[in-house]
C-alpha cells in the first residue's frame, strides 16, 4: 500500500490538554507527518470555521487541537497562520467574530505570541486549473499564497449534500464565503459538486490532513446537528484514504459520500476501507459507531441494463431517497440568512402565524420547489437549525432502517 495514504487512527476521550497532546503527537508520529517543517517556514492551517459557533457545539475545529499542532510546528522553528473563509462576508470584521466565537483568539497569545497568528489577509485571487474536472477557473482566498505549506484540519460531521464533511470537503473553505453559493449554482449536481472538492484538494495539495473526531456532529449537519462523541484523532498525508476511514467509522461507504466516489473514479482514492492501511492505538472496529445519524441517505441507484423495468426501479429508488430542505416554522427566527444565501433565489420571506416567539417579524422562508437545486445552503447556514433535511414518508422509514 502507498505510504502516502497511510491513516493514523488514535483514541482520544476529551479535549483536555494532556489527552490531546498524547493523541495528536502519536497520530503525527505514526505517519512522520511533520518531517516537511523547516526553520523559517510559514505553515498555513486551513481549519474548519464554517460559522461562528463555540467549540462545545462540535461545529468547528477545536482550539485545543489547533494549539497543540501549532506548538509542534513552532518548536521546529516555523511560524503558523490559521485561516478559513466561513459562510458569509469574507471581511475582517465578520471573520474576526468567527475567530472569537470558535475560541481561537488565545492562540495568538502566551508562548505562541509572535509565532502564530489568525489570518488577516482578506484578498481574493483568481485561479486556473486546466487539469480540473469541474473547477477549471475559480476565485480563492489569497492568504493561502502567503504560506509555504498547507495543513487541512477538519471536523468529522454529516453533510446534507455530500453525505459527510471531513478532510476533502474542508478545502471548500478556500472559496470566499459569499462566493460559495455561486459555485453551488454552477455545479448543482452532487457528482459535479463533489469534483469541485477534489479539484481544490488537487490544486492546493495540502501536505497533511488532520481530523478532529473527538466530538463530531450527526444528524442535521454540518452546523445544526447534534454533537456526538466519537473519541478519535486521525491524520494522513492524503485526504481520500483518510475520509474513507472516517466514513467507515460513522457507517458510510463510497456510495454514501460523493467525494469518495469521484476520487475513486479519478484514480485518487480507494474503493473501500479494506484498501487503506490504518495504523495507531485505536482499531477501526472499536472506533465504529453503527447508530450514527445521517443527514441524508446516499445509496447506489444504478441498475444494469436499459430495460423499462430497470428504468422504473431506478426512478422508484430515486423517489424513495429524495430529500429537500424544509423550514420548521416554530423554530424560525426570521433572520433571512437562508434568503440571502440561496444561490438559486428560490426563497422568499412570507408571513406566518406559526413563526417562533423570537421571530419579531413573523416572516419565514417559503421555498419555490421549481427553482430549488437542493444544495442545502439554507440548511447549512441556518443559525438556529430551523431548516431541516426533509424526507418523503418512504425515505423516513428507510432512514430509520439504515441507522440500525
The CATH architecture of the domain made up of 308-402 is 2-Layer Sandwich (3.30)
pLDDT of 121-135, one tens digit each?
Answer: 999 999 999 999 999
Within its chain, how far is the Cα of 387 from the centroid?
A: 18
pLDDT band (50, 70, 90) for residue 314: very low
Burial class (CB in 10 A: 0-12, 13-18, 19+), 329: middle
**Where in the chain are the domains?**
3-287, 308-402
> Can you give the pLDDT at residue 157?
97
Closest listed residue to residue 124, CA positions, set 135, 139, 138: 139
Average pLDDT rounded to a whole number, residues 26-40: 98
What whole-number percentage of the chain has pLDDT above 90? Answer: 73
The CATH code belonging to domain 3-287 is 3.40.50.11440
What phi and psi, each to the nearest 5 degrees, are found at residue 58? 60, 30
pLDDT at 54: 96
Q: Percentage of residues in the chain with pLDDT exceeding 70?
A: 89
Average pLDDT over residues 360-377: 89
Reported as a pLDDT band with limits 50, 70 and 90, residue 3 is low
**Cβ-count burial of 257 within 10 angstroms (0-12 exposed, 13-18 middle, 19+ buried)?**
buried
pLDDT at 181 over 50: yes
* Cross-strand bridge partners of residue 258: none
Alpha-carbon Rg of the chain, whole angstroms?
21
Q: Average pLDDT over the chain, rounded to whole? A: 90
Identify the DSSP state of 294.
P
Is 353 exposed, middle or buried, given 0-12, 13-18 or 19+ CB atoms closer than 10 A? exposed
In this structure, how many other beta carbons lie within 10 angstroms of the beta carbon of residue 263? Answer: 27
pLDDT of residue 298: 52
Say what the pTM is. Answer: 0.85
Residue 299 has pLDDT above 50, yes or no: no
C-alpha cell, 177: 464565503
Query: How many whole angstroms separate alpha carbon 203 and alpha carbon 186?
Result: 19
More confident residue, 46 or 188: 46
Q: Are 326 and 296 in contact (CB under 8 A)?
A: no
Average pLDDT over residues 199-226: 96
Instruction: Decide: 96 and 104 in contact? Cβ < 8 Å.
Output: no
Amino acid at each position: 500500500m502507498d505510504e502516502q495514504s497511510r491513516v493514523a487512527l488514535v483514541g482520544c476521550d476529551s479535549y483536555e490538554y494532556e489527552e490531546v497532546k498524547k493523541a495528536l503527537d502519536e497520530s503525527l508520529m505514526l505517519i512522520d507527518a511533520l518531517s516537511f517543517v523547516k526553520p523559517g517556514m510559514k505553515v498555513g492551517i486551513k481549519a474548519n470555521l464554517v460559522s461562528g459557533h463555540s467549540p462545545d457545539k462540535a461545529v468547528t475545529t477545536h482550539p485545543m487541537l489547533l494549539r497543540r499542532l501549532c506548538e509542534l510546528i513552532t518548536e521546529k522553528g516555523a511560524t503558523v497562520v490559521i485561516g478559513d473563509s466561513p459562510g458569509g462576508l469574507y471581511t475582517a470584521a465578520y471573520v474576526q467574530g468567527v475567530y472569537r466565537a470558535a475560541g481561537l483568539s488565545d492562540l495568538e497569545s502566551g508562548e505562541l505570541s509572535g509565532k502564530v497568528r489568525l489570518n488577516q489577509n482578506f484578498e481574493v485571487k483568481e485561479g486556473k486549473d486546466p487539469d480540473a474536472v469541474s473547477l477549471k477557473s475559480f476565485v480563492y482566498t489569497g492568504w493561502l499564497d502567503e504560506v509555504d505549506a498547507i495543513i487541512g484540519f477538519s471536523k468529522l460531521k454529516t453533510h446534507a449534500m455530500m453525505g459527510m464533511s471531513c478532510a476533502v470537503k474542508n478545502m471548500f473553505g478556500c472559496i470566499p464565503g459569499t462566493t460559495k453559493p455561486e459555485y453551488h449554482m454552477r455545479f448543482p449536481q452532487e457528482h459535479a459538486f463533489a469534483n469541485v472538492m477534489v479539484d481544490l484538494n488537487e490544486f492546493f495539495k495540502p501536505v497533511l490532513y488532520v481530523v478532529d473526531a473527538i466530538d463530531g456532529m450527526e444528524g442535521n449537519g454540518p452546523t445544526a446537528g447534534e454533537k456526538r462523541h466519537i473519541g478519535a484523532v486521525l491524520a494522513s498525508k492524503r485526504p481520500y484514504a483518510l475520509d474513507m476511514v472516517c466514513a467507515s467509522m460513522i457507517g458510510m461507504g463510497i456510495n454514501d459520500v460523493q467525494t469518495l466516489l469521484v476520487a475513486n473514479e479519478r484514480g485518487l482514492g480507494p474503493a473501500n476501507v479494506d484498501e487503506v492501511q490504518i495504523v495507531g492505538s485505536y482499531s477501526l472496529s472499536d472506533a465504529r459507531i453503527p447508530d450514527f445519524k445521517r443527514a441524508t441517505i446516499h445509496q447506489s441507484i444504478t441498475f444494469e441494463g436499459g430495460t423499462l423495468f430497470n428504468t422504473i426501479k431506478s426512478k422508484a429508488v430515486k423517489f424513495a431517497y429524495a430529500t429537500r430542505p424544509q423550514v420548521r416554522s416554530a423554530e424560525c427566527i426570521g433572520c433571512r440568512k437562508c434568503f440571502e444565501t440561496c444561490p438559486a433565489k428560490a426563497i422568499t420571506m412570507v408571513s406566518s402565524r406559526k413563526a417562533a416567539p423570537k421571530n419579531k417579524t413573523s416572516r419565514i422562508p417559503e421555498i419555490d420547489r421549481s427553482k430549488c437545486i437542493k444544495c442545502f445552503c439554507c440548511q447549512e447556514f441556518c443559525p438556529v437549525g430551523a431548516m431541516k433535511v426533509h424526507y418523503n414518508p418512504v425515505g423516513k422509514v428507510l432512514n430509520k432502517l439504515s441507522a440500525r
